[in-house]
A and B are shown apart, each in its own frame.
Chain A
């Protein structure tokens, strides 16, 4: 089933995928065991003429065993996930000194990208506004200041394993580092009105040279 996952092109995507695979195999095993037991029981203990069911009211040992076992497994899973989650979503744990900072703002039904320009400050003359096109270099830490103008949208790049809702009047920081050049779609993943379907931007991951050329073209020195 997991071969349907889009290709992963972000540094942290691998950790998401590992958890995904881990849970997949775990749940697959549990599913096969439970269903297997069920089917065996259904066949073996089907009603047969002249045979009565055994009067069994339960087993405290079994109850304790399976309660403890499931608790340990799900807590173990949670333990494994805290660091990955923090690494992706907690601003205090983001890699510092980003190579690129962009503000992305969702509005019905486009993504507005704002680059701060060479002075690295938003709201100055050298800012660059682009509609639905995000340009970043490969293997570089990108910080995004995510916001929205009207309703809630959600910034989703399947190949980066990144999704974050964008809220009006709030700035939420997200980061990523892309590992493969290419052009990726940025669908909106949160219902935002009649144009929600088809609200689509693009993430262009450039090689360093291409990116430098793009910067040069936009802010000639």
Chain B
């Protein structure tokens, strides 16, 4: 919020047009970031509620749960008991009474919790931050232009996302509760209210995602146009930083994938409200539940790559900058991302091996899925190659970059088990899948997000984030993350199903009680560790150490812009003379040679 002093060479703006309905890509990027962080807390809080139930099934939650005496004898002992007493005495059906009487999570509420946890994390946290925040903030700065191609569309994209988030949040409070059919919303569970008792919750879920789809669509058109048309002189495609490449590819994926989800959602709404049967097989014919799965995963698999590609891009920046070396195999990194983007369209069936899809198709999808592991491996080897003979600086952003690579390796390797159809018979729909998801999306995307926030914070707000707090946050998160999610592989190997609210109902899962408690403890640690990040973020906006123009000594164009970046970004649009990763060039005085530095001129220093 410190842009004002330097923005004066552009026209003055009112508070509303500057901070609320801003057309400036940087402000919109920051808005998306704060939006994502807020939703991150909502999504995380839901997870802690259901983790409690998994560790201590049918036991009241801490703090708000009723005491044992109260539940046994109706004797009010704690403050929480008094609250429950009031709730039970009140005439109307209180929300808490319906969903967690005495603070015990009801099975239907449990289903709603994990459904909304995943929905929020995927659609309202990771995509808005990676694509909305980093995409908006970085693309114009890194390609050397003054703003997005369509600033008004850009603003629309953000405010549509706000509307979607509001609609999604309202869903928690409608009669029948929020959607409870999983983030994958498999029909017919999702397509007919009689199977879940969820009425408008599921409708609002679908409507909200439709709106979010429009938001993404508008944003992606903007990104694609901007990157194709507005690159600074000399900025050829093969001089684009990898994070811009990743956002470009992701924008194309979003543009093509989201309409598929939108049409599926529209059909779902017809099924629910207009009595059609697109996703229900009736005795007279009708539709087919597998149609939903095909449509959902045809969107869904590209979507999971939308969740990781920008993370890969960010990690590539961090690793090159802090190894002080060019990216190893820049072109092969680009080609790997492009092939992931192509192959991503022909692997969706790997989510449906056990769905009743023809077994022959399973073999086909196993083959394509195995293929997509290849570009992922290439990227990993190239990251290692980038560190090889580097001069690695262990800054906090770099720690996140390294964590990204190591966690992605685990997530990629666990993918091989599931891509293998016979092994998938056993681990499908178990915690093994949950472990995989979190290693790629939390271990991957979120570590990249954290690293990216700390790395670009000086450019966003003109100040550093507090490094001690960042380091504490990193180590707590890294340890707690692994303690939370690694054991889930073991649960999966033991056959522990996902999406069950009480594992103790099963004989063969009795041995996992201790592990579930351990996971829950770690999950709470992980959750609370995020408070450090958010505190640090907001505190540093106002109190952080003031940063110079190019504090990490980076070559790319965003660091050519003054700090804080004024409206319009650059005084004069820079000209690009070289690729983005010219670090430690022999014969140069500094170990970084900015993209905008003319040939044979002395290096411009970063302060």
A residues with CB within 8 A of B: 1-2, 4-6, 15-16, 19-20, 23-24, 26-27, 30-31, 34-35, 37-38, 41-42, 45-48, 51-59, 62-63, 66-67, 70-71, 74-75, 77-78, 81-82, 84-86, 88-91, 108, 150-152, 154, 156, 158-159, 161-170, 172, 185, 187, 189-198, 200
Task: Tell me whether B584 and A53 are in contact (CB under 8 A).
Answer: yes
Cα of A191 to Cα of B420 in the assembled complex, Å: 23
Quick check: is B381 within 8 A (CB to CB) of the other chain? yes
- Contact residue among B390, B426, B584 (Cβ-Cβ distance under 8 Å from A161): B426
Task: Tell me whether A150 and B188 are in contact (CB under 8 A).
Answer: yes
Quick check: is B535 within 8 A (CB to CB) of the other chain? no
Point out the residues of chain B lying under 8 angstroms from A197, CB to CB: 107, 110, 499-502, 505
Cα of A70 to Cα of B415 in the assembled complex, Å: 14
- Contact residue among A47, A78, A166, A193 (Cβ-Cβ distance under 8 Å from B393): A47
Task: Tell me whether A167 and B406 are in contact (CB under 8 A).
Answer: no
Q: A34-B380, A70-B377, A163-B425 are in contact. Are A41 and B388 (CB under 8 A)?
A: yes
Cα of A144 to Cα of B331 in the assembled complex, Å: 52
Cα of A200 to Cα of B507 in the assembled complex, Å: 10
Cα of A67 to Cα of B409 in the assembled complex, Å: 16
Task: Tell me whether A15 and B422 are in contact (CB under 8 A).
Answer: yes
Question: Which interface residue of A47, A189, A197, A198 has the most chain B CB atoms within 10 A?
Answer: A197
Interface residue tally on B, bucketed by range? 35 or more
- Contact residue among A16, A189, A194 (Cβ-Cβ distance under 8 Å from B422): A16
Q: A34-B380, A194-B180 are in contact. Are A169 and B366 (CB under 8 A)?
A: no
Of all chain B residues, the one with the shortest Cβ separation from A51 is: B391
B440 to chain A, nearest CB (A): 15
Point out the residues of chain B lying under 8 angstroms from A20, CB to CB: 417, 423, 426
Quick check: is B402 within 8 A (CB to CB) of the other chain? yes
Task: Identify which of residues 414-445 in chain B touch chain A, using a CB-to-CB cut-off of 8 Å.
Answer: 414, 416-417, 420-423, 425-426, 428-430
Point out the residues of chain A lying under 8 angstroms from B273, CB to CB: none
Task: Tell me whether B107 and A89 are in contact (CB under 8 A).
Answer: no
Quick check: is B323 within 8 A (CB to CB) of the other chain? yes
Quick check: is B586 within 8 A (CB to CB) of the other chain? yes
Quick check: is B468 within 8 A (CB to CB) of the other chain? no
Cα of A198 to Cα of B497 in the assembled complex, Å: 11
Task: Tell me whether A152 and B188 are in contact (CB under 8 A).
Answer: yes
Q: Closest 10 A-B residue pairs measured CB to CB?
A: A169-B281, A158-B495, A58-B329, A194-B108, A197-B500, A74-B370, A89-B359, A53-B584, A54-B389, A85-B421
Task: Tell me whether B416 and A23 are in contact (CB under 8 A).
Answer: yes
Point out the residues of chain A lying under 8 angstroms from B323, CB to CB: 45, 53
Point out the residues of chain A lying under 8 angstroms from B534, CB to CB: none
Stretch in B262-270, B282-290, B455-463, B546-554 with 4+ CB within 8 Å of A: B282-290
Task: Tell me whether A45 and B387 are in contact (CB under 8 A).
Answer: yes
Of all chain A residues, the one with the shortest Cβ separation from B389 is: A54
Quick check: is B182 within 8 A (CB to CB) of the other chain? yes
Chain B 546-584 near chain A by CB (<8 Å), digits 1 or 0: 000000000000000000000000000000000000011
Jot down 15 A-B pairs with beta carbons below 8 A, ordered by A: A1-B493, A4-B494, A5-B494, A45-B391, A57-B330, A58-B327, A58-B331, A58-B332, A62-B329, A66-B377, A89-B421, A163-B426, A168-B280, A191-B182, A197-B501
Of all chain A residues, the one with the shortest Cβ separation from B106 is: A194
Quick check: is B232 within 8 A (CB to CB) of the other chain? no
- Contact residue among B110, B356, B422 (Cβ-Cβ distance under 8 Å from A88): B422
Point out the residues of chain A lying under 8 angstroms from B584, CB to CB: 52-55
Q: A1-B493, A42-B402, A53-B583 are in contact. Are A58 and B507 (CB under 8 A)?
A: no
Point out the residues of chain B lying under 8 angstroms from A150, CB to CB: 188, 195
Point out the residues of chain B lying under 8 angstroms from A1, CB to CB: 489-490, 493
Task: Tell me whether B363 and A167 are in contact (CB under 8 A).
Answer: no
B132 to chain A, nearest CB (A): 30
Cα of A163 to Cα of B422 in the assembled complex, Å: 10
Of all chain A residues, the one with the shortest Cβ separation from B290 is: A167
Q: A30-B413, A75-B370, A170-B356 are in contact. Are A56 and B325 (CB under 8 A)?
A: yes
Q: A34-B409, A172-B356 are in contact. Are A58 and B328 (CB under 8 A)?
A: yes
A205 to chain B, nearest CB (A): 15
Point out the residues of chain B lying under 8 angstroms from A16, CB to CB: 422-423, 425-426
Cα of A152 to Cα of B290 in the assembled complex, Å: 10
Task: Tell me whether A37 and B505 are in contact (CB under 8 A).
Answer: no
Point out the residues of chain A lying under 8 angstroms from B497, CB to CB: 156, 187, 189
Of all chain A residues, the one with the shortest Cβ separation from B418 is: A23
Quick check: is B85 within 8 A (CB to CB) of the other chain? no
B471 to chain A, nearest CB (A): 16
Cα of A191 to Cα of B499 in the assembled complex, Å: 6
Chain B 482-504 near chain A by CB (<8 Å), digits 1 or 0: 00000001100111010111100
Cα of A20 to Cα of B389 in the assembled complex, Å: 37
Point out the residues of chain A lying under 8 angstroms from B391, CB to CB: 45-48, 51-53
Quick check: is B518 within 8 A (CB to CB) of the other chain? no
Task: Tell me whether B390 and A169 are in contact (CB under 8 A).
Answer: no
Point out the residues of chain B lying under 8 angstroms from A90, CB to CB: 359-360
Task: Tell me whether A41 and B387 are in contact (CB under 8 A).
Answer: yes
Task: Tell me whether A57 and B328 are in contact (CB under 8 A).
Answer: yes
Cα of A159 to Cα of B494 in the assembled complex, Å: 10
Cα of A58 to Cα of B385 in the assembled complex, Å: 8
A200 to chain B, nearest CB (A): 7
Quick check: is B362 within 8 A (CB to CB) of the other chain? yes
Cα of A34 to Cα of B376 in the assembled complex, Å: 13
Point out the residues of chain A lying under 8 angstroms from B405, CB to CB: 38
B357 to chain A, nearest CB (A): 9
A59 to chain B, nearest CB (A): 7
Task: Tell me whether B186 and A191 are in contact (CB under 8 A).
Answer: yes
A69 to chain B, nearest CB (A): 9
Task: Tell me whether B422 and A193 are in contact (CB under 8 A).
Answer: no
Task: Tell me whether A167 and B500 are in contact (CB under 8 A).
Answer: no
Cα of A2 to Cα of B281 in the assembled complex, Å: 39
Instruction: Please give 13 more A-B residue pairs, beta carbons under 8 A apart, in addition to A47-B392, A59-B329.
Output: A19-B423, A27-B417, A31-B410, A58-B329, A59-B385, A85-B359, A89-B362, A91-B359, A156-B429, A156-B497, A161-B426, A169-B282, A191-B186
Question: Which interface residue of B367, B402, B429, B489 has the most chain A CB atoms within 10 A?
Answer: B429
A14 to chain B, nearest CB (A): 11
A55 to chain B, nearest CB (A): 5
Cα of A20 to Cα of B413 in the assembled complex, Å: 13
Cα of A191 to Cα of B327 in the assembled complex, Å: 44
Point out the residues of chain B lying under 8 angstroms from A30, CB to CB: 413
Q: A57-B326, A78-B370, A89-B362 are in contact. Are A62 and B493 (CB under 8 A)?
A: no
B427 to chain A, nearest CB (A): 8
Quick check: is B539 within 8 A (CB to CB) of the other chain? no
Point out the residues of chain B lying under 8 angstroms from A196, CB to CB: 107, 111, 499-500
Cα of A48 to Cα of B508 in the assembled complex, Å: 54
- Contact residue among A31, A45, A74, A191 (Cβ-Cβ distance under 8 Å from B111): A191
Q: A45-B389, A71-B374 are in contact. Are A85 and B363 (CB under 8 A)?
A: yes
Of all chain B residues, the one with the shortest Cβ separation from A151 is: B189
